[in-house]
Amino acid sequence: MEHQHETQIRPGQRAQLPAAGDRRRLPLPSSASCYLNMIALVLIYLLLVTLVNRFWVGTALFGAFVMVFAVATKIKITMRSEPIIPSDLGFLSGGGGGGAGDVASFVTDDSRPLVNTAIAWLVWFVVICVILQCVDKRRAFIYCSWRHPIAGPKNIFGLICRILAPIVSVLLLISYAGVLSNPQAPQRKTLSKIGYSPTLWNVQQDAETNGALTTFLSLTRVKAMEDEPEYSQAAMQQIKNRYAQAADEINAQRSQNLTDNTVVMILSESFSDPNRVPNVHFGADPMPNIRALGQTTTSGLMLSPGYGGGTANIEFQQMTGLNMANFSDTLLSPYQQLVATRPKFYSFNQMWNEHCGDEYSTSCSIGYHPFKQFFYLRGVNYKKFGFSHLYTLDSDPKIAHGEAYVGPNGTKTEVSDEEAYKNVVEEIRTNTEQNKPSQYIQLITMQNHAPYPDLYGSENEFHGVNETPDTVPERGIIATYAKNVQRTDEATANFLNELDGIDKPITVVFYGDHLPGIYNTANADKNNALTLHETNYFIWSNRASASHDVKLPESDAAYTSSNYFMTQAAEHMNARISPYLALLDELHAEVPAMSRSVNAGVWSAKGEPTLLDDNGEVIDTNTLSSKAKQLLADYKMVQYDMSVGKNYLMDMGFMDIPKQ
């Protein structure tokens, strides 16, 4: 689930985070945070002093800034387990929902003593600075005479310095923020030597390690995509028209409505087949039920941009249909660096919101995650996506079934998949009993999240059937993981059986987000990179669905990436689609899977995105057909419009399914 970053985590090594319910504190700040924040504070102080050109007034403003930022960070970490980030500034302008009223609402009874004390200290500090300003004979920090700017060389030089000083200060601060947010910046080597180790998948941990101010600045400047010179409303209209026609042609052959089905998207944390990993093998199949599903329903392999981490990136692709391959290399985590900064963002669940209407708006899009909502800013982003609620361990109300699993040897670990599935089954049953419209349900599980302690002891039969060579030192932990996979397999089979008993069309899209970062031996061989980025997925419909027992042909299913799941699900259900899904449908036919690695070092010889054909072979971009090149170009332009552009396509109805 974690998002590994740069070279701080060695290949095959997994960053260890506290498990759900674990009350251990995250690592204390290193000396690096002192240096990094000192740089930022000096630059901010320099900016304020040169801007007002009064030493003590600038000092008072600086003290006020530091006090407000520190208190706000303390309050937010206490309430939401995350520091202040750039998107929070929307509250000040009303963009967060209500401006000053929303900001004041964060000052609870528990935090009021802290706020009152901070205000008292700040008032005294400002008063002292004002007194010192009056006592100090220097009226200006930089000599300047606005009345007689060119009276002499001294006045001219002072005027030039007065104008340039704040400009240079702003540029220095912006440049520093840019270096923090750009892994490719030459200056990053110097910061790395100081000890800068960004962990943006967990902003709280990043703030504790590098300092809250450093975290804030690192999220201020991200160029999500390179400029598209041809981007315009007219260009987007042409793309809309092109794929509206494609959608009409596809829809003429289909008979079902996508939103008449309840669709359950299951991101199964770190789920994959251990027997696919080179030099790893077990004499017993850890996932017989899910493997058997491949004979009767749509299934195959998914190309993941992550190994051992990067959950939210795969989730983002599945939720939006966009792909990390089109983003700039500086964009490491869309949830933190992109979605949180946009006024609105399209996601597929919004089709169900529109279908349900206002009467059932509280039950159309539901999310479940048996962990904390601050991870990847899910609590913020799911609201932006239009979910009525994301049920987590710390939400209000919190997830109903979220008890930690206790292994046979008494070790307590993550919430089991069996427990997580109960939330979905109960939600669908209640929805069906109340005769409500179909839903979009998102479940992100936690069972197979690292670390992998020996939960089972002698009850783990995979130790006895472990045919992995002794030369693989991690063979023991892999056996523990295999037992976890078996538990997921059994829980998933039972889950599908329960859905089979519900008289409502239900389609499940199940996929592993990435392999666990435990295969150190296999990961040491660069030739295994592709295999270590392929996970298992399937699309299944219950007996009440017209698509029960449908199995798409291998050319449409053998290989995919998570951005294609919704259009594949629509094909599986024989459901009509939007122009956007038509684009994804046609692109999937030409380029079945695409990805770029964001957390595992070398991905390809030149670092370019990897494209796979329907046989799982890497596509040489020089051999792409003209149609494939056109589709890729259109797809990139669509992603530009949705991510950094003006959202022309949303206003044009590009994401809307034609009414029947």
The pLDDT tens digits of the residues spanning 490-506 come to 999 999 999 999 999 99
The amino acid that residue 148 corresponds to is: H
- Could you report the per-residue pLDDT of 186-199, keeping only the tens digit for each? 888 888 888 888 87
Tell me: pLDDT of 640 over 70: yes
Tell me: pLDDT of 346 over 60: yes
Tell me: pLDDT of 79 over 80: no
309 pLDDT band (50/70/90 cuts)? confident
With b meaning 16 or more CB within 10 Å and e meaning fewer, what string describes 170-201?
Answer: eeebeebbbbbbbbeeeebeebbeebbbbbbb
Give the C-alpha separation, 557 to 278, whole Å: 23
169 pLDDT band (50/70/90 cuts)? very high
Q: In whole angstroms, how far apart are CA 526 and each of 217, 445, 518, 532?
A: 34, 29, 15, 10
Q: Are 338 and 331 in contact (CB under 8 A)?
A: yes
Asked, as a colleague might, if the bond just before 451 is cis with ω within 30 of 0, I would say yes
Asked, as a colleague might, if the bond just before 113 is cis with ω within 30 of 0, I would say no
Give the C-alpha separation, 212 to 203, whole Å: 9
List every span in the chain annotated with CATH 3.40.720.10: 233-652
Tell me: pLDDT of 474 over 70: yes
More confident residue, 138 or 596: 596
CATH class of the domain defined by 233-652: alpha beta
Which pLDDT does position 161 carry in this prediction?
84
Which pLDDT does position 582 carry in this prediction?
98
Tell me: pLDDT of 8 over 70: no
Q: What end-to-end distance do the CA atoms of the chain give, in Å?
A: 41
Which pLDDT does position 30 carry in this prediction?
58
The mean of the pLDDT values for the chain is 87
Give the C-alpha separation, 504 to 546, whole Å: 11
Which residues 6+ apart lie within 8 Å of 599 measured at CB? 3, 4, 5, 305, 306, 307, 308, 309, 310
Tell me: pLDDT of 97 over 50: no
Give the C-alpha separation, 259 to 53, whole Å: 61
Q: Indicate the pTM of the whole model.
A: 0.78
133 pLDDT band (50/70/90 cuts)? confident
Q: Are 518 and 481 in contact (CB under 8 A)?
A: yes
Which pLDDT does position 15 carry in this prediction?
34
> CA torsion sign, 648 to 654 to 655 to 659?
positive
> CA torsion sign, 551 to 553 to 555 to 556?
negative
- The stretch 240-258 carries a mean pLDDT of 97
624 pLDDT band (50/70/90 cuts)? very high
Which pLDDT does position 35 carry in this prediction?
84
Which pLDDT does position 94 carry in this prediction?
42
SS in 3 state form for 467-480? CCCCCCCCHHHHHH
The amino acid that residue 77 corresponds to is: I
201 pLDDT band (50/70/90 cuts)? low
- The stretch 424-432 carries a mean pLDDT of 97
Which pLDDT does position 63 carry in this prediction?
94
83 pLDDT band (50/70/90 cuts)? confident
587 pLDDT band (50/70/90 cuts)? very high
- The stretch 51-61 carries a mean pLDDT of 91
